[in-house]
Structure 1
Amino acid sequence: MAVRQRVVAGDEVTHVVLDREWKVIAPIEDYLEYLRQEQYSPHTVRSYAGGLASWWTLLEQRGQDWRHVGVDDLARFARRLRDRGSDPTVLALRPSKPAATSTVGSAVTAVLGFYRYHAIVGGVPAARQFYVHVTGGTMQSRSQYASFLGHIGGGQDRRVIGRRRGPSTPAPLLSPQQIAVIKDDAARFEDGNWLGDLRFRLLWSLLEETGVRIAEALLMRHRDWQPGTGTTAFIEVEPREDLRRRLRVKNQHFRRIYVGDELDDLYGEYLFLLAEHGFQFDDDDPIFINFYRGQIGRPLRAETVYDWIEGFKRRHPLLPAEWTPHWFRHFHATALLLAGIPPHVVQRRLGHQDINTLMRTYAHVTDDAEMRAAADWKMLIQRWGAAA
């Protein structure tokens, strides 16, 4: 059975895949190293390593050479994942709960990328069966295999086994009232003083008002926050990663986000708190650090944030038990779209590479707004008459 193994070397944290003899599987390692060199996210490398470990396990159990596989093998692999690892040739008397569509899709994508890589660097022909080349809407035979840049010369490669998406559901989000409860639980201003953990109040307020990801917030340094001194304050999301804390700015793209005076003032209060506690910091130090546990003064870890959330959920059992920091991001995007902010502006603020990602995730928001506008039939008729 092949397994994914975490490897730590100095400040580098990555994953490799070992075979049943506990040896690194060279073809998989070559592909994973290519992903590392191309600066793929460590989370992507980890996910792909897990998918390829499952694929190699299937090959080992069947005694099959990895270079001689076909579409049927890939389909069998996808079915195996959906059935939680059971052999698709054996009828299960008590079938397990099916795996998530995204989990299956990610593993299949890893296998397809692995073979496409080896088709180019090593001439392994298996990838030719997994893709068809499309030119002008017409699919050519499976033997017509193009390179990674084949679409530039006209047409593109499409997977024979597609990645099916599950039913579309609205992105989960917190209400303004629920967010207020979370922030007040962290710290509350009473009798001229902040009571509680102002650090977490700043963190939740930052996620609420900017829509940054939790990793982006925890990687932020003091020089990234430009206070408003006669101008509008803003924060900058810098391409940055910390493999020790397993944090990385997604897509490694820079962006600037303007913030309001209230959030900027809260950051100022936090700086005073740091000074009162005797913390020495400069512009290149992380904003969020350990106060009460772990190595005091060291950068705050995501695990500490989730520990706080677990404690909060015990104190407030009526709020959604499944909420995570990412729900603040969904709230931010939804609020902007409902306020009529153009989607391309929301895309830039959230840092999405493709506007389709935004529109697919929050389609229900824009659709609902358009449907509500269409409900005002009298206004629409008047507008139509005026245009005539």
Structure 2
Amino acid sequence: MKVQKVVKPDNQISWLVLDDKFKPVAPILEFTKFLEATDKSPNTIKAYSHHLKLYWQFLTQDDISWTDICIEDLANFIRWLQSGDQDGVISIVKRDAKRTNKTINLIMAAVSAFYDYHSRSGKVADLKIYRDGAFSGKYKSFLHHITSGKSIQSRVLKLKEPKRGLKTLTKPQVQQVIEACNNLRDKFIICLMYETGMRIGQVLGLRHEDIKSGDNQIAIRFRSNNENNARSKSREDNLVDVSSSIVSLYTDYFIHEYGEVESDYVFVNLWDGEIGAPMKYGSVITLFKRISKKTGIDVTPHIFRHTHATELLRAGWDLAYIQKRLGHSDIQTTANIYAHLSSDDMKKELAKFRGEKCH
């Protein structure tokens, strides 16, 4: 089995799960079309396709029909994911889990969404994957927009994930990363993400009309037809205030490097690839790998979002303001991710409470 990338006539990208005879797996294809119809991002469809390919491998290996499934089968699938016995050989020796609980939960979320869709369309019986309960602010079912106002559901088969500290950068590390950039374009990308907390999809989808230089603002807009398949995760437009230094950096980049390029996109290929074409995710990943190797600092695009939000929190910003700046639809999302405190944070706040100086 394999997951095949498909480029449609309108240059939109999608993904197909092919069986061993290189034919699309019909139930997955139907679900994928539903995802496309509800305007899910290509990255979401790609992830779901890879997760469902694993699920179909499990079904094929154990000769189970996808419509003849019970909770016990799904529990066995979890154990199959943990053991890594994709070759059908079961080890009698205890081994470490091949996948983290977080990864398995992501795979199970795709499987649950798949069955949620097909049960609602009448293809399979309700598998009782979800349990009803009062909304805790931490979970929305896959079809929440259809079932809003009704009882809230959470998945029955969900593994406990260990809490990990959020990775952020110190100000000296951020400065070191900025200094590692070889040109104004790359420096602008880093500075923009650090100062605004924008996701890389939002950055790559920026058009010149989104830069409000006179107001020191940047408009973050949802567009589903970007040439580079970049997307803003949120469908809500958001205006983000920026410093005059960010606007100046944009101006310098536009004058000194962008030059005669004719494009609506802010970030384009200038030295390699198709000159003038909007930058793609792969180009940014390559940039960050180079910077990580040069500085010895493990940096990813999303680490700047975490760093920005953490700095705002430590500066005393209310979560409601951080939610608005990051474009989260629910303040609980902001709280779950960013309301974290280190021992140093606790020490400083306690010293402030006592009126002491913290060294």
By the TM > 0.5 criterion, same fold?
Answer: yes
Matched, 1:160 2:156: yes
Find the aligned partners of 2:36 and 2:273 in 1 and give their Cα distance.
30
AA partner of residue 258 (structure 1): D
Amino acid at match of 1:41: S
Moved more, 71-80 or 21-30: 21-30
Paired residues for 1:82-231 under 5 Å = 82-86=82-86, 90-93=90-93, 95=95, 97-125=97-125, 127-134=126-133, 152-153=149-150, 155-161=151-157, 163-186=158-181, 196-228=182-214
Query: What TM-score results when the alignment is normalised by the length of structure 1?
Result: 0.81
One-letter identity of the residue aligned with 1:238: R
SS at match of 1:360: helix
Judge conservation of contact 1:209–1:259 (CA < 8 Å) in 2.
Answer: yes
2:289 to 301, 310, 319: 310
Partner of 1:249: 232
Match of 2:334 in 1: 358
> What displacement does 1:313 show?
3.2
Q: CA offsets, 1:178-203, max 9 Å, x none? A: 111222222xxxxxxxxx41111111
Tell me if structure 1 keeps the 8 A contact 2:185–2:257.
Answer: no
Distance 2:301 2:58 in 1: 36
What is the letter of the counterpart of residue 211 of structure 1?
A: G
Whether contact under 8 Å (1:289, 1:298) holds in the other structure is yes
Change in Cα spacing, 1:3 to 1:92, as seen in structure 2 (3 Å) is farther
Residue of structure 2 in register with 1:142 after alignment: none
- Matched position secondary structure for 1:292: coil
Cα shift at 1:136: 11
Aligned with 2:306 (options 322, 326, 330): 330
Query: In 1, distance between residues paired with 2:85 and 2:273?
Result: 39
Cα distance in 1 for partners of 2:294, 2:343 equals 36
User: 1:295-330 deviations in whole A, cap 9, x for unaligned?
Assistant: 2222122222222333333333xx32x311211111
Task: For residue 92 of structure 1, report the CA deviation from its aligned partner.
Answer: 4.5
| Aligned residue type for 2:187 | R
Distance apart, 1:91 and its partner CA = 2.8
Cα gap change, 1:118 to 1:315, in 2 (>3 Å): closer
TM-score (norm 2): 0.87
Q: 1:246 to 1:101 in 2, by over 3 A?
A: farther
Q: Tell me the amino acid that sits aligned with residue 260 of structure 1.
A: S
Identity of aligned pairs, percent? 28
The code of the aligned residue for 1:337 comes to L
- Count of equivalent residues: 349
Say whether 1:288 aligns with 2:267. yes
Paired amino acid for 1:104: I
Q: Say if 1:302 and 1:133 are closer, same or farther in 2 by CA, change over 3 A.
A: closer
Give the CA deviation at 1:226: 0.6
2:218 & 2:129 partners in 1: Cα distance? 44
- Indicate the residue corresponding to 2:261 in structure 1: 279
Match of 1:52 in 2: 52
Structure 2 gaps, min length 5: 137-142
* More displaced 10-residue stretch of structure 1: 219-228 or 16-25: 16-25
Cross-structure match for 1:35: 35
Per the alignment, do residues 37 and 368 of structure 1 end up closer, same or farther by CA in structure 2, a change over 3 Å counting?
farther
Specify the structure having the higher radius of gyration (Cα): 1
1:298 and 2:274 equivalent? no
Work out whether residues 47 and 106 of structure 1, in 8 Å CA contact, stay in contact via their aligned partners in 2: no
Following the alignment from structure 2 to structure 1, what is the Cα–Cα distance between the partners of residues 77 and 313?
40
Deviation (angstroms), 1:371 = 6.1
SS of 2:309's equivalent in the other structure is helix
**8 Å contact 2:58–2:86 — kept in the other structure?**
no
CA distance in 2, matches of 1:302, 1:117: 30
AA of the residue aligned to 1:332:
H
Please give the alpha-carbon distance, in whole angstroms, between the structure 2 residues aligned to 1:123 and 1:311.
48
- Contact kept? 2:184, 2:257, Cα under 8 Å: no
Tell me by how many angstroms 1:55 deviates.
Answer: 1.3
Corresponding residue of 2:317: 341
Q: Name the CA distance, whole Å, in 1 between partners of 2:144 and 2:287.
A: 48
Letter in 2 for 1:72: E
Whole-angstrom CA distance in 2 between matches of 1:296 and 1:38: 33
CA distance in 1, matches of 2:7, 2:250: 35
Structure 2: distance between partners of 1:135 and 1:332: 33
Retained in 2: the 8 A contact 1:84–1:96?
A: no
Q: What is the root-mean-square deviation in Å for CA atoms of aligned residues?
A: 2.8
Structure-2 separation of matches of 1:371 and 1:25: 56
CA contact (8 A) 1:150 1:157 kept: no
Match of 1:236 among 200, 219, 226: 219
Deviation for aligned residue 1:367:
8.6
Query: Quick one: which amino acid aligns to residue 287 of structure 2?
Result: W
